[in-house]
Amino acid sequence: MKNYIIAFSSLIFLVAIVFGVKSCKEVTNAPTEPKFSNPFIDDSTTVKVYRVVDGDTFEFIIERDTIDVRVLELDCFESRRGSRLNEQAAQVGLDPEVALIIGQSAKTFATNYLVGKTVSIVRDRTQDNFDSFARLLRKVYVDGKLFKDTMCVQMFTVECYR
């Protein structure tokens, strides 16, 4: 009887080890990717465009927060009158009213092109993470193409950086 109890206890112990090892294996094989992508620190993530502010700036929403993204390597004319628009117009030798029309056209084009789409935003580690207005600075890809290239082809920009 004593041998039976020892054998039974040994069998239970072996079963516990096998299941314990299997459980550990399942834990170590768990995916290492986070379920939530953090656009503030991740090098690349996707977001759904909520609203376009200007031809080179858009917003997306995380929970209840609206986050601004400034498209890197792109400088579109402002879509409202002001000193910044006047500076941009002077930079390229345009009348501010002409620059305003181009800026408003850029905003309209970007709105039609981006709003409601899921886009990839990619951090360029040679640039700051945020600008002085607390906007994320990111390269933006739409359907695998750089958004700034699309805007440059459309001629809505003050300057396109290469």
Q: What is the pLDDT of residues 63-108, one digit of tens each?
A: 899 999 999 999 999 999 999 999 999 999 999 999 999 999 999 9
In a domain, 36, yes or no: no
The band of 162, judged by pLDDT with boundaries at 50, 70 and 90, is low
Residue 133 has pLDDT above 50, yes or no: yes
Residue 107's pLDDT is 96
Are 136 and 92 in the same domain?
Answer: yes
Residue 156's pLDDT is 73
* 146 in Cβ contact with 139 (< 8 Å): yes
77, amino acid identity: F
Are 73 and 108 in the same domain?
Answer: yes
pTM comes to 0.74
How far apart, in whole angstroms, are the C-alpha atoms of residue 134 and residue 139?
16
Are 52 and 20 in the same domain?
Answer: no
Residue 14 has pLDDT above 70, yes or no: no
What region, left, alpha or beta, does residue 159 occupy, with left being phi > 0 and alpha being psi -120 to 50 degrees? Answer: beta
Q: Looking at the 3D structure of the chain, how many domains does it have?
A: 2
- Residue 58, domain extent: 44-160
51, amino acid identity: R
Centroid of chain to Cα 22: 38
Per DSSP, helices labelled H in the chain are 2-28, 83-92, 96-114, 147-153
Query: Tokens for 60?
Result: 């997306």
Query: Tokens for 26?
Result: 């399942």
